[in-house]
A and B are shown apart, each in its own frame.
Chain A
Amino acid sequence: MTDLAGLSSVLGAWYDFRDLNNLQRLITEWIADWGPDWLASIITGVLGALGILGVIGPTLLILIWVERKVIARFQQRYGPNRVGPKGLLQPVADAVKLILKEQLAPRAADKLIFFLPPVLIFIPGVLIWGVLPFGPRMSVADLNVGVLFLLAVSGTAVLVIFMAGWSSNNKYALFGAMRAVAMSISYEVPMVLALLTLVVFSGTMSINGIVQWQQQEDVIFILLFPLSAIAFFFAASAELNRTPADISEAESEIVAGYHTEYSGMRFGLFYAVELGNTLVVSAFIATFFLGGWWLWGLDQWVPSWIILLAKTGAVYFLLIWTRGTLPRLRVDQLMGFCWKALVPATLLFVVVAFVERTLLISEGWDTTVALPIMAVFNIALSLGAVMLFARVARPAPLRRPARIRMAGSDIGGLRAAREVAARREAPQLQVGGD
């Protein structure tokens, strides 16, 4: 166990960039010396917000570049490489272009509701950063109901998306909005259940508490509850509208979904928040399942927020990877996957977590011995559940393999078709099937 007292003595000075909380605390104390205390709370709040915006803004610009560059490499292209060194300024140029573009509104749009969403969508997008712990004491608000706060705030975004889609008076937009709403309320269930597993097992609803639990027990949650982690990853990528679950803005079907009618910087805001959400979700996945700012003692030497950013980057890369590789699922398939696969799986692990927690607490098992055993058991259980699902829930058309045969000398119509189909020899190509 880390010596927290020793750590805080090291982290005492304002210039210690390992814990930027010191700086803020000094400012607060300085204001409290001369000003009224409400001023201190307002100024610290503003500082926190500025800090978040200062982090998100530049990160977003870099992220756009990273994402385009990585996707380009997947696709054997160079990606942006003209504006600035290595194309780094491309996002800036894009942003300037978007700002300068004319912002159109459909004549039949519900004007007020149409103008609000690009602004409103920023509120959950920024608020959600507030509870992200960058270090032991580095979060704007370390709520003891942080997990709930996270879910509540992310749930409100869907309302804004609905406003955008509905007010556009465009059928593509309405389709996108309804799909987004349906997706969101469905995928929130496995998301909540996956987090509930952690809350039950660690016994705290504070996000920092969950990280500290992982630090205390020297284990990261993805080892203990791998299926919950995977379910959370899927659910998060579905809530983020990223391929393979980007049905609410499925380009090949409904053009751009709920933001079809938004042009110029209004579209840019949606786009920015979407990217920002991707980043923050990566950060939360890293926090909940990969240990957050903690990495087996390395956080003593490297600033904790750099560890978190590194883990976030890894998860973010995973999100880009799935996006660049996979086609999109259909609406009903996504819904079916959520309700038939993710919800039972996460529910199972809530029960498992409850039982294991009870064993640990009431039976007083030694964690150093019990946790590895539980991890092995849970991993085996996850694999079994996945295999069972793959066997039971496969859709009917996928159970038969697709076959390609060679016609050879049989050229003709139905008669020749029957002859080719009746051939005994193995087909030229056979894919899929059970």
Chain B
Amino acid sequence: MSDFGFHLAFWSLAAMTIGGASMIMVSRNLIHAVIWLVLSMLGIAGLYLTLSAEFIAVVQVLIYVGAISVLMLFAIMLTPRAERDNSQNIKTSAPAGLVVIMVMIATMWVAIDTDWGAVREAALTEQARLIGESLIKHYILPFEIGAVLLTAALVGAIALARQDDEDAAVHAASLQAELKGDGSVDPVDVVDPPLPSDGEVGS
């Protein structure tokens, strides 16, 4: 591919990535922020493509755009509406911002300082195989630890969700008590009343 096409792709994708990322900070609405995040992620996937890293690009889209962003949307939808605003308080976010800026400077310094030699052509054709082999053979321990961690997170999520269920039961009970209190017809009594011969119906 010629320089012009490559540069065009690189600069537009870089603009997309950084523009999306900046819009995340600017937008007040969390759902808008997620959508900008998706745009940024897509830009990164495009950058991977320009590096001929098809596998990683596709995985980036699959995981970050298809899964992580959807997960974020779920989290937002499950959050009470009052807490859905983007942060408003500069006092609490300033230290965090400072830390982020420092980390970014450090990363950029390392990135510029490192001597990235040209990648061998052969490595690119069989990325999937290489990644798979290195995961299963070379990095088997971290891989397994990651798997265990994810399983633990899964179990934790289930446990949290279960707890909510009990709350709902309590909620229903309190509603029933409320209904009993104001002297109206109690739906539970009404739905399943004792036989008329045993007692009174609907009273």
Q: Mark A368-410, 1 if CB is under 8 A from B, else 0.
A: 0000000000000000000000000000000000000000000
The smallest beta-carbon distance between A69 and chain B, in angstroms, is 35
Contact (Cβ within 8 A) A159 B69: yes
Residues of B within 8 Å of A113, CB to CB, are 31-32, 35
B80 within 8 A of A: no
**B65 at the binding interface (Cβ < 8 Å):** yes
Interface: B18 (CB within 8 A): no
One digit per residue, 1 when the CB lies within 8 angstroms of any chain B CB and 0 when it does not, for chain A 31-57 equals 000001110011000000000000000
**Interface-facing stretch out of A149-157, A247-255, A341-349, A424-432:** A149-157
Verify B73–A181 contact, CB threshold 8 A: yes
In the complex, identify which listed stretch (B56-64, B95-103, B114-122, B163-171) lies at the interface while the others stay far away. B56-64
Stretch from A84-92, A140-148, A324-332 at the B interface: A140-148
User: Is B70 located at the chain interface by the 8 A CB criterion?
Assistant: yes
When the two chains form their complex, are residues B54 and A37 in contact, meaning their CB atoms are under 8 A apart? no
By beta carbon, the residue of chain B nearest A148 is B58
Across the interface, B67 reaches (CB within 8 A) one of A38, A155, A205, namely: A155
Contacting pair B58 A152 (CB below 8 A): yes
A185 within 8 A of B: yes
What DSSP secondary structure best describes chain B's contact surface? helix
Answer whether residue B136 sits at the interface, using C-beta atoms and an 8 A cutoff.
no
Q: Which of A101-154 contact B (CB under 8 A)?
A: 110, 113, 143-145, 148-149, 151-153
Interface membership of B181, Cβ < 8 A: no
Q: Is A158 an interface residue when CB atoms closer than 8 A count as contact?
A: yes
B35 touches A41 (CB 8 A): no
A199 vs chain B, min Cβ distance (A): 9
B67-80 vs A, Cβ < 8 Å mask (1 yes, 0 no)? 10110011001000
- Partner of B70 from the list A143, A144, A152, A185 (CB cut-off 8 Å) is A185
In the complex, A178 has a CB within 8 A of chain B: yes
Q: A37-B2, A205-B128 are in contact. Are A178 and B77 (CB under 8 A)?
A: yes
In the bound complex, do residue B195 and residue A143 qualify as a contact, i.e. CB atoms below 8 Å apart? no
**Nearest CB in chain B to that of A150: its residue:** B58
Min CB distance, A38 to chain B, in Å?
Answer: 4
Is B5 an interface position by the 8 A CB rule? yes
Q: Which of B29, B58, B195, B196 contacts A149 (CB 8 A)?
A: B58
Check A162 for interface membership: any CB of B closer than 8 A. Answer: yes
Give every chain A residue within 8 A of B1 (Cβ-Cβ). Answer: 37-38, 41
Chain B residues within an 8 Å CB radius of A110: 29, 32
Contacting pair B58 A144 (CB below 8 A): no
Q: How far is the CA of A37 from the CA of B3 in the complex (A)?
A: 10
Instruction: List chain B residues, Cβ under 8 A from A152.
Output: 58-59, 61-62, 65-66
Cβ–Cβ contact B54 & A144, under 8 A: yes
- When the two chains form their complex, are residues A159 and B65 in contact, meaning their CB atoms are under 8 A apart? yes
Q: Contact between A153 and B61 (Cβ–Cβ < 8 Å)?
A: yes
Contact B31 A166 (CB under 8 A): yes
| A196 interface residue per 8 A CB criterion | no
Decide if B109 is an interface residue (CB 8 Å cutoff). Answer: no
Q: CA A205 – CA B29 in complex, angstroms? A: 39
A287 to B31, CA, bound (A): 37
Question: Can you list 15 A-B pairs, Cβ within 8 angstroms, ordered by A?
Answer: A36-B2, A41-B5, A42-B5, A143-B58, A145-B127, A148-B58, A148-B59, A152-B61, A155-B66, A159-B38, A162-B70, A163-B35, A178-B77, A185-B70, A414-B195
Interface pairs A-B: 8 shortest CB-CB: A155-B66, A38-B5, A152-B62, A152-B61, A148-B58, A38-B2, A152-B58, A149-B58
Spell out B's residues near A (CB within 8 Å).
1-2, 4-5, 29, 31-32, 35, 38, 54-55, 58-59, 61-62, 65-67, 69-70, 73-74, 77, 125, 127-128, 195-196
Beyond A113-B35, A148-B58: 17 further Cβ-contacts under 8 Å?
A38-B1, A38-B2, A38-B4, A41-B1, A42-B5, A110-B29, A144-B54, A144-B128, A145-B55, A148-B55, A151-B62, A152-B59, A156-B66, A159-B65, A159-B70, A166-B31, A188-B66
